[in-house]
């Protein structure tokens, strides 16, 4: 396949990639709302969707890596790809990369809020059961002494 055609496939893929992260940001917001609702069925549904998103991200990353390699842009960052792109494509790619970065920033922000809420809820539950955890700093232990559920600590 021609090099230009491969690049076009890569640019088209980056549009799908940005869309995926925008969709994921929306689902992260729904996950936070599910946590805030304290409704078990909504929380379970959000966790199941989170797991599906993880699988989809793995597949997208494999595709991205393969397309970048086939296009001669293996191991390049978005900024390096932008510099290597034909001048007429740079503005389009910059918008795609900006969309992706903005969505990822939103995902991280919302995920931090979800984690903080989940930790607070766990502390409350432990306190109600009389299992008060250390909530301050000591010589032996720094931090809250609680770990949130791994599913809520998924990194994007």
- On the question of pLDDT at 1 being above 50, the answer is no
Indicate the SS3 state at residue 156. Answer: coil
pLDDT of residue 3: 63
How many angstroms separate the CA atoms of 38 and 103, rounded? 26
Q: Which residues contact 26 (CB under 8 A, 6 or more apart)?
A: none
Q: How many CB atoms lie within 10 A of CB 40?
A: 9
Q: How many CB atoms lie within 10 A of CB 71?
A: 22
pLDDT of residue 153: 54
Q: Which residues contact 116 (CB under 8 A, 6 or more apart)?
A: none
Spell out where 40-136 has E strands.
none
**In the predicted model, what is the mean pLDDT of residues 26-35?**
94
pLDDT > 70 in the chain, percent: 81
**How does pLDDT run across 121-155, given as a tens digit for each residue?**
888 888 888 765 555 555 555 555 444 445 555 55
């Amino acid at each position: 396949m021609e090099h230009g055609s491969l690049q076009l496939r890569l640019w088209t893929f980056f549009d799908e990639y940005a869309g995926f992260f925008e969709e994921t940001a929306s689902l992260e917001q729904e996950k936070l709302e599910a946590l805030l609702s304290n409704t078990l069925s909504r929380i379970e549904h959000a966790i199941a969707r989170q797991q599906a998103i993880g699988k989809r991200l793995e597949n997208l990353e494999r595709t991205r890596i393969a397309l970048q390699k086939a296009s001669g842009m293996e191991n390049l960052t978005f900024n390096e790809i932008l510099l290597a792109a034909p001048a007429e494509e740079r503005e389009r790619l910059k918008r795609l990369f900006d969309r992706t970065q903005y969505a990822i920033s939103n995902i991280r922000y919302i995920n931090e809020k979800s984690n903080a809420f989940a930790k607070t809820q766990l502390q409350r539950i432990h306190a109600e059961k009389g299992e008060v955890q250390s909530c301050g700093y000591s010589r032996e232990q720094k931090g809250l002494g609680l770990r949130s559920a791994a599913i809520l600590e998924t990194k994007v």
